[in-house]
Amino acid sequence: MFEVSERDLAARIGRIETKSGCFETPAFIPVVNPVIQPVSPREMYEEFKCRVLMTNAYIVRKHFGREAVEKGIHRLLGFPGVVATDSGAFQILKYGDVEVSAEEIALFQEDVGSDVAVILDHPTGWGAPRSRALWTVEETYRRAERTFKVLRRDDILWVGPVQGGEHLDIVEYSAKLMSSLPFHIHALGSPVQVMEQYRFDVLVDMIATAKSVLPPDRPLHLFGAGHPFMFSLAVALGCDMFDSASYAIYARDMRYMTELGTMRVEDLKYLPCRCPVCSRLDAEELREMPREESVRLIAMHNMHVCVEEVERIRQAISEGRLWELLEARCRSHPSLTTALRRLKRYADLLERFSPSRRGRGLLYFGFEGLARPEVARHKKKLVDRYRPPAGSEVLLLLPQLDEKPFHRSREFRQALSLVVNPLSSEGVKVHVCLYAYPFGAIPVELDEVYPLSQFEAPRPPDWETVRYVAEAVSEYVLRHGYRAVALYGHEGWHSRVAEAVEEACRRAGVPFMHLMDERPWSVEGLSRLKSLIEGGVNTSRKRRL
């Protein structure tokens, strides 16, 4: 049913097979109102290459009834691809209730031949008290159990929504409940109001909580996510599909989508797009044409932007570049930047889902990138899998340079010849580690392991990054039991690392020597460093005696 071909972060490129055909994920699933269609399903299939769309079974039943059953949903819509049907639960959120039971709407979806169908859950919504949120979760589960008892067909993929709203422990509980039932796909419910309020940080919490519990072999659908500027965020967290009628709703309000935000047509002087709509019109022509025609064209433009962004995301996943795209998109609005920073809480989750692969060089832009799987994975491997060379007595911490790999640089060779080799001849076994942002401590023998020498970062580092490096290097020092530690560097962020390492050495009860050199890597500076280490080693030996 679901075959994954490529991964990056928690995202995945895959194929979902249904009785009417396959579609690729990540997938933007346009929602079609069966009554009002500014862009027809046939156009979606032929012009936009959409292989899946969604319509509302409750509205279809209300307006077409028996006709929909006789024709089938594909023929009724004139769409040869995969048709998913929602149950009408969103109407519960808007109007309080619907005049249909969970069993009735499930059987109707069977009767019209849906390929993918959603049970009639009970949305939690935004701002619901805990008691109400818990009730919606348990009522959704009860409805799901009743639904499975009446189903007659086995060729429809059923979607099990996860509820709970902003109450994360209840979201987790809901995900566990729904995972226990034989759903093919899961969906995160109640995100629309969260997104309308631009609380994308809360959305991150909700998705990550559900994703950490749900079975990884079942696709995850995000209800109501329809703006391309947040697609990469949803996909990076593991959402395989998202549906929305926003392309049409925005058009009716004369709002023009871009991958970075939304503009009102009345404010446009230019059309910053080269889609088939925008390449043949200018902004004034779009404003002056009859409203019905302009709404249709804006809807088509909005569809182009959504489809193009999904293609861009797929390419980024394929290249292992989704994080870079995510960072670029999250700079388009402060609330998205807040959400990007929230990802640090879920660095372990992203690391768990993201593959270990050698890709292109890593681009690190700032402290938000500390949530990247590559950073979290290096820290984890240093703890779980690394031990210093046997007999290492002194840890020498050297700053990594722009030249990579560091151990091939002139500066490193000079440090070897003036510091490490002479000390070794005196019976002092020195182990060299680098301290570098964003990774922290890098044993020199791992210098060429991807991506420790295959990255670029801005200069100087921001202080959040420096704090992380200082803490990571200090943890390394405390873990590995050297008898003395020396740090070489120059004023600036190196000093902050030195302060943290000095505190770690004080806690460990070992000598700490550091040299902040105004002329780093000079013969005089390295000679002074050697003398400092000799003094520290002698002090350590006297203490042991």
The residue type found at 184 is: H
Residue 537 Cα distances to 431, 509, 516, 530, angstroms: 13, 13, 19, 11
Give the pLDDT of residue 359: 66
Alpha-helical segments (H) within 51-88: 57-63, 66-71, 73-77
The CATH H-level superfamily of 389-544 is Uracil-DNA glycosylase-like (3.40.50.10630)
Give the pLDDT of residue 98: 79
Give the pLDDT of residue 543: 60
Rounded to 5 degrees, what angle do the CA atoms 384, 388, 393 make?
140
SS3 252: helix
Q: What is the DSSP letter of 121?
A: -
The ranges of the chain with pLDDT < 70 are: 93-96, 358-359, 539-545
| Residue 82, strand partner residues | 52
Give the pLDDT of residue 11: 97
Q: Are strands 11-18 and 241-244 parallel, antiparallel or unpaired?
A: unpaired
Residue 173 Cα distances to 133, 169, 194, 221, angstroms: 11, 6, 20, 18
Examine domains 2-246+346-353 and 389-544 and report if their fold is the same.
no
Give the pLDDT of residue 314: 98
- Give the Cα separation of 132 and 453 in Å (integer): 52
- Of the candidates 8, 86, 201, 243, the residue annotated as catalytic is 86
Q: φ and ψ at 523, to 5 degrees?
A: -60, -45
Q: Compute, in degrees rounded to 10, the torsion defined by CA atoms 72, 78, 80, 83.
A: -60
| Residue 33 and residue 58 in contact, taking contact as beta carbons nearer than 8 Å | no
Q: φ and ψ at 7, to 5 degrees?
A: -135, 155
Closest CA to 295 of 349, 348, 336, 256: 256
Sign of CA dihedral 299, 301, 306, 311: positive
SS3 40: coil
- 86 catalytic residue (yes or no): yes
pLDDT digits (tens, 9 = 90+) for 383-438: 889 999 998 999 999 998 888 999 999 999 999 999 999 999 988 999 999 999 99
Give the pLDDT of residue 284: 95
Ranges of each domain in the chain: 2-246+346-353, 389-544
Give the pLDDT of residue 545: 43
Residue with tokens 């998205």: 336
Give the pLDDT of residue 160: 97
Name the CATH topology of 2-246+346-353.
TIM Barrel (3.20.20)
